[in-house]
Structure 1
């Protein structure tokens, strides 16, 4: 059972987000970052992982759709990225099949037993490698074709418990509807990224829908994706 003690903060390194959250995400939390394609979900999650690695926190990025090499190719665009983070093993990119022990013919979990083994293997990796930041991109695609709602629930609960105990903070990237998904209900936090049309421009926006153990604004903010990282600014409502 989770205790009620005040949790330390995991500084995301995204200055505007840390400010909204009063210093960062509560350590050991699992946060859902959701939104339509193209709004910056992966960029935000990767910055979280890279910033953590730069601070000496072992970070794992688990990709479920793209090959790690393709995802890694986008990381050096950050001015603050240092390739030595990967060379030293502080920042690691792996794919879903690396945690399946070759048990699935398709390279993806299909049965409840395979999903259970997946959760156990990821948890084991977190424990053995002292992982402090976890990113899964994209989380909901793991469950394509799965009709049993208990499977994503059980996997999420397994990861959530391990991460809380080991002070590992995680981001799940998903396209799921945050108001109805199991992930949003179980997750400790939900951050919604979206689009806003304004004077013929399409702005990217960010809104913290929930974050347990945190007093935070639920206002929308404008975000820009730059080589310096995700920049967060208040949304000026005049003229909308």
Structure 2
């Protein structure tokens, strides 16, 4: 199936001056941080702790793309697709028509495994299973003409691969074919809080292969638990590396100034 051409802003690749099309997120403040959006075809690791807003950001990224006429896909690794559809009803920016029109597609990895005949009796994928899974992802992207993809979470997939070498190979090959199809992808990565070491994934492999890393977390200010976002890297574009506060509102995610709270009421971080 021929993939839909989507008009995007053009910027220069800072590495070589080559023009790079941007996948606009249409999320308040995010495109400004990314200097216009995510370079088309990039794989971005959306890393963060529990409750930091990863799934909300990823779903808004997909839904905004679907509203703009793109074909978008969400692959749920740990939850049934029916549960995700139910959860979407709580988002003010969600529209049921996007699913009915085939602009927003939601797949359950368990169903994909069943259709592939993958049996993981010991809880891990064999090399043959991994090939089948990569093939299934490629078929979905190719046949539907998907331009935006989210896998939630890549951590859960990695737990089912036998070793770090397999994880690196899986993500690298996933990146290769997605880039070929011009599909811009977010891989959601669970992290753990460690005061001594900043991590972006459980296995320490995913961030090395990804084109971009966006770190989401929770910070405490005057007893309040606030959500934060920081772009650690993004190949193909200049971007802010500052840490920003975010709010999850009924109409979507919003970036707000990160304030250093003090007796004077606060000063903006630089």
- Alignment TM class, shorter chain as reference: over 0.9
Contact residue 43 and residue 210 of structure 2 kept, 8 A? yes
Shift of 1:109: 5.6
- Corresponding residue of 1:104: 118
Q: How far apart are the structure 2 equivalents of 1:132 and 1:102?
A: 23
Q: How many residues align?
A: 238
- Corresponding residue of 2:77: 64
SS in 1 for 2:186: strand
SS in 2 for 1:38: coil
Shift of 1:106: 4.0
SS in 2 for 1:77: coil
Shift of 1:57: 0.6
Q: 2:255 aligns with which of 232, 235, 239?
A: 232
- Corresponding residue of 2:102: 89
Deviates more, 1:153-162 or 1:103-112: 103-112
Q: 1:33 aligns with which of 46, 50, 57?
A: 46
- The question of 1:43 aligning with 2:68 is answered no
Unaligned runs of 5+ in 1: none
Contact residue 40 and residue 184 of structure 2 kept, 8 A? yes
Normalised to the residue count of structure 1, the TM-score between the two structures is 0.93
Q: Alpha carbon RMSD of aligned pairs, Å? A: 1.9
- The question of 1:208 aligning with 2:221 is answered no
SS in 2 for 1:154: helix
Contact residue 116 and residue 132 of structure 2 kept, 8 A? no
SS in 1 for 2:60: helix
- Corresponding residue of 2:200: 178
Contact residue 109 and residue 142 of structure 1 kept, 8 A? no
Deviation by residue 1:48-78 (Cα, 9 ceiling, x = unmatched)? 1111111111000000001111112221222
Contact residue 220 and residue 234 of structure 1 kept, 8 A? no
Shift of 1:222: 0.5
Shift of 1:230: 0.6
Normalised to the residue count of structure 2, the TM-score between the two structures is 0.83
Q: How far apart are the structure 1 equivalents of 2:221 and 2:254?
A: 18
Unaligned runs of 5+ in 2: 1-14, 192-198
- Corresponding residue of 2:66: 53
